[in-house]
């Protein structure tokens, strides 16, 4: 949460439009929100909305990060600490430690460090119904300082793996971004593992059925990938 608050405060200083911001005062988390009566959650990611979302992500990634004063997202430590807290693993996460470690060593020290939202499912993307060009990103609890590929992988994993048309749109846009296909594939696989572990852990802590459903959703995607490299 401290990392998320620092990022949100930094974005406010840089005049990046936030509908919700948080700060710590006297040990309490204070959240301030702006209500938009004409902004709706995106439930269907058609091509036009996808492209606007990508442009919004690009805008976020262009924000200067001087004086941000937070450490980059540590792929291995963050994932391992979460998976290590799971008492009853629904899949054998420990079998993927070497892959996560290799992934971390390959991409942790990168020149592409930017502010990433890192949780870009449709419920966290709002579109202004009056001014269609206005896209807002909300819920910055998972915001990180990381490689820009993290957000593009987030869009794919949380929106497009089950949407062939959306994937085609992304691949078209991908050509403009000149993204590395293998690297993108690695970040997608990391995101799938991350959200599987997160859902498993959250269910153990809360016993809320929604986390089991999230796990089952990502488990279907998990079966599509190999982690042998």
CA distance 68 to 114: 10
Compute CA 51 distance to the chain's CA centroid, rounded to the nearest angstrom.
17
Closest of 74, 161, 147 to residue 116, by C-alpha: 147
Neighbours of 73 (CB within 10 A): 20
pTM of the shown model? 0.81
Output the six-digit token pair for 106: 């390959």
Q: Is residue 135 within 8 Å of residue 18, measured between CB atoms?
A: no
pLDDT band at residue 162 using 50, 70 and 90 as cut-offs:
low
Q: Which domains does the chain have, with CATH numbers?
A: 2-222 (3.90.1200.10)
Q: Is residue 198 within 8 Å of residue 135, measured between CB atoms?
A: no
The predicted-structure confidence for 167-223, as pLDDT tens digits, reads as follows 667 667 666 667 788 898 899 999 999 999 999 999 999 999 999 999 998 898 888
CA distance 55 to 119: 16
Residue identified by tokens 């085609």 is 168
**Average per-residue pLDDT in the chain?**
80
CA distance 168 to 166: 5
pLDDT band at residue 8 using 50, 70 and 90 as cut-offs:
confident
The predicted-structure confidence for 28-42, as pLDDT tens digits, reads as follows 545 555 545 555 555
pLDDT band at residue 139 using 50, 70 and 90 as cut-offs:
confident
- Give the DSSP H/E element, type plus range, for residue 83: helix 75-84
**With pLDDT > 90 as the criterion, what percentage of the chain qualifies?**
22
């Amino acid at each position: 949460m401290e990392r998320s608050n620092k990022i949100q405060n930094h974005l406010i200083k840089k005049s990046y439009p936030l509908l919700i911001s948080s700060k710590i005062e006297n040990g309490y988390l204070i959240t301030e929100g702006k209500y938009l009566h004409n902004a709706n959650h995106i439930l269907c990611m058609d091509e036009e909305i996808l492209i606007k979302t990508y442009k919004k992500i690009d805008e976020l990634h262009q924000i200067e990060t001087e004086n941000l004063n937070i450490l980059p997202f540590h792929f291995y430590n963050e994932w391992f600490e979460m998976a290590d807290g799971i008492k009853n693993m629904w899949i054998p996460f420990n079998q993927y430690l070497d892959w996560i470690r290799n992934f971390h060593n390959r991409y942790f020290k990168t020149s592409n460090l930017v502010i990433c939202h890192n949780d870009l499912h449709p419920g966290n993307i709002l579109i202004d119904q009056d001014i269609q060009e206005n896209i807002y990103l909300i819920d910055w609890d998972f915001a990180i300082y990381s490689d820009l590929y993290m957000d593009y992988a987030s869009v794919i994993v949380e929106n497009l793996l089950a949407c062939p048309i959306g994937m085609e749109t992304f691949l078209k846009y991908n050509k403009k971004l000149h993204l590395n296909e293998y690297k993108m594939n690695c970040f997608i696989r990391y995101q799938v593992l991350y959200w599987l572990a997160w859902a498993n852990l959250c269910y153990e802590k809360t016993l809320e059925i929604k986390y089991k459903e999230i796990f089952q959703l990502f488990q279907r995607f998990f079966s599509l990938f190999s982690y042998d490299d």
